[in-house]
Amino acid sequence: MIGDTRDFGIGRRVNAENWRALRQVGEHANQRLCDAQAADARPAPDVATLTAVTLPSTTIDGQHAPGLRFADPRVMATMTAIVGFSHLINGFDNKALTELMGTLLDIPYTSRHATYDLRRLRRKRVIERIEHTHRYRLTPSGRAIAVLFTKAYGRVLGPGLTALDPRLPPELAKRSPLATAWRQLNRALDQFIDDGLAAA
pLDDT tens readout for residues 52-67: 899 999 999 999 999 9
160 vs 154: CA distance, rounded Å: 10
Q: Among residues 110, 106, 76, which one has the least CA distance to residue 94?
A: 110
42 vs 105: CA distance, rounded Å: 31
186 vs 179: CA distance, rounded Å: 11
pTM of this prediction exceeds 0.75 = no
pLDDT tens readout for residues 63-98: 999 999 999 999 999 999 999 998 888 999 999 999
| Ranges of the chain with pLDDT below 70 | 1-3, 33-46, 200
CATH class of 42-158: mainly alpha
Which sequence spans correspond to the domains of the chain? 1-41, 42-158, 165-199
User: Virtual CA dihedral for 28, 31, 35, 36, nearest 10 degrees?
Assistant: 70
Using a 10 angstrom Cβ sphere, with 0-12 exposed, 13-18 middle and 19 or more buried, the burial of residue 124 is: buried
